[in-house]
Structure 1
Amino acid sequence: MPGTIRTIQRGGSRWYVNPETAIKYPGVTSIVAMLPKPFLVWWAARMTAEAAVSNLPAVASIAERDEAGAVDYLRNAHSRYTKLRARIGSDAHDLFERMARGEAIGRVHPDLEPYRQGFEEFLDVVRPELVRAEDIAWSDTHQYAGSFDAILRVRLGEDGKPDHVSGEWHTLIVDWKTSKSTYPDVALQMAAYAHADKIIASDGASEPMPEFDGAAVLHITPVGWAFKPVRIDPEVFDIFLTLRKVFTWDRDISKTVFGRAIAESARRLITGTQRRAS
């Protein structure tokens, strides 16, 4: 039986490693992270400011005893929020997969209950058939890999809405999102999955990536859900491939562009007075 793909962290990026060949490819999300996001600077600053205003007495108390500790508390405000959202997102993804596979779900944590209700309603309205979930998309052609959320088959009418009577079956690559909003770079992520060479299952078995009729994001928040189509056409995929080149530049090529100095300044003269003073 083929070995299972494992993941490692190197230089702040996720890499997927084939145990049989030792081939190592960067993850799709690490490649998409090459896209500039200047708004994150302002977002992090706002999170810090909100933490300070909301916790003024506590911050002042900490600062009286440990000024550096107060600074660390504030500057890590955005990291604490991100970790909390990541935990909820991970738990929700696990819940969605189990529900999509038909597993009976009992009581869940109150934080997850709105997501459970939303996904249950999605299953009832759209009635998707699960093809694959949480497997790895692998591309030897372009040297990347990544774990996708799901491949679904859904019946859609000519208007693109669910039609369980006369609609045509569509095979879609699907991503679950639990963030406050959906962002355009999800199209780059999903185009990468859809244009990969093959799927590698959890046991290491592989098969060619199927042909897709499209892609969609299921965006679920505590107040509602929406199932939205996403472009994964060649134009979008080509932009992902550009970011793949940027990743190689950032991790490899940029470290090779400077050679040894052709000439440089002489060492600064150290006087006798300076030597005696030391």
Structure 2
Amino acid sequence: MTSVLSMVPKPFLAFWNARMVAELAVDSLDFVAQMAARDRAGAVDYLKGAATRYTRARARVGSDAHDLFERLLRGERVDRVGPDLEPYKRHFLEFLEVVRPELVHAEDVCWNDEVGYAGSFDAILRVRIRPDGTLGPDGVEQLLIVDWKTSKDTYPEVALQLSAYRHAERIIHADGTEEPMPVVYGAAVLHITDQGWEFKPVRSGTDVFAVFRQLRQVFDWDRTASKTVIGRALAASADRMVTGTQRRAQ
């Protein structure tokens, strides 16, 4: 699923990457200048790796937070966590207290043979939902497929992700057993950071899933079909001209 979702265009990433490099250069001018004087190539690598280092650091926090959330959701008592995770622990416990979800599945693999994809979802929860869509103890019990996000913000791509989970055909458990994907009421994302948390509904119906199916076709094109559409040359020049510019470059 991650590979399919990577087919979504992300033009903003180029600007974000450039900003990360620029901010690092401005914030560490003296250090970069000293490094460049000794090792120009090393200084270039240091600057161009700014976005990658940030992404890896955030991924580690996200992975640790997901592990913590699963433990807390399963009722495990977690007494101590590192200072980076402490606010996430506090906010997730508050989410559990306010929403009072019942765990149905967590960190299982969903599979769709027809479309051809698999992915690991965060949780399927049973919550009480009122007719107006709000949560409350007087609501009707419904299943939601839920994803945890620890990123700076939530992005529309999560709808494609959750729709793919929701429309999977079966669940494969850690012990290898399987069961049909249950019918869920809808989808939601828990956006949780060190600053707070929000539990947001996410559209995941057939219209959103249709877009995911199109991305699956784009994935096939990118990985397979695109490599077969241009054939061998039917004719070619006998000798290629080598210009003076090319000779000097060599």
TM-score range, shorter chain: over 0.9
- TM-score under structure 1 length normalisation: 0.85
Q: 2:147 maps to which residue?
A: 175
The residue that corresponds to 1:241 in the other structure is 213
- Does 1:184 find its partner at 2:184? no
SS at match of 1:40: helix
1:179 alignment partner, SS class? coil
Secondary structure, counterpart of 1:162 in structure 2? coil
Q: Distance in 2 between matches of 1:161 and 1:180?
A: 25
Q: Quick one: distance in 1 between partners of 2:108 and 2:221?
A: 28
Count of residues in Structure 1 that have an aligned counterpart in Structure 2: 242
Q: Which residue of 140, 143, 146 maps to 2:113?
A: 140
Aligned to 1:24: none
Superposed CA deviations along residues 98-149 of structure 1, whole A, max 9, x for unmatched, are: 0000000111100001110110000000000000111101110111000000
Aligned-residue offset at 1:58: 1.1
Q: Name the structure 2 match of 1:14.
A: none
Instruction: Supply the distance in 2 between the matched residues of 1:269 and 1:34 (Cα, whole angstroms).
Output: 39
Contact 1:96 1:116 in 2 (8 A): yes
Instruction: Measure how far apart 1:194 and its partner are.
Output: 0.6
1:46–1:206 CA distance, 2 compared to 1 (3 A): same
Alignment of 1:10-159 (within 5 A): 28-159=1-132
- RMSD between superposed Cα atoms in Å: 1.1
Could you say which residue in structure 1 is the equivalent of 2:182? 210
CA deviation vs aligned residue, 1:139-160 (integer Å, no higher than 9, x gap): 1011100000000000122232
Number of the residue aligned with 2:247: none
Structure 1 regions of 5+ residues with no counterpart?
A: 1-27, 271-278
Question: For 1:23-42, what per-residue CA distance to the aligned partner results, in whole angstroms no more than 9, with x for missing partners?
Answer: xxxxx121011010000000
Matched, 1:230 2:202: yes
Kept in 2, the 8 Å contact 1:214–1:230? The answer is yes
Once the two structures are aligned, what percentage of the paired residues are identical?
A: 63
Secondary structure at the aligned position of 2:111 is classed as strand
CA distance in 1, matches of 2:202, 2:51: 29
CA drift at 1:268: 4.2
- For 1:118, what is the secondary structure of its paired residue? helix
Shift of 1:82: 0.1
After TM superposition, give the deviation of residue 267 of structure 1 in Å: 2.4
Q: As a proportion of its length, which structure holds more helix? A: 2
Runs of 4+ in 1 over 6 A off after TM superposition: none
Equivalent-residue separation in structure 1 for 2:82 and 2:133 (angstroms): 34
1:269 Cα deviation from its structure 2 partner: 8.2
Question: What is the distance in 2 between the residues matched to 1:268 and 1:238?
Answer: 48
Kindly tell me: are residues 238 and 65 of structure 1, through their superposed partners in 2, closer, same or farther at Cα, counting changes over 3 Å? same
Whole-angstrom CA distance in 2 between matches of 1:62 and 1:244: 45
Asked if the contact 1:125/1:162 (under 8 Å) is kept, the reply is no
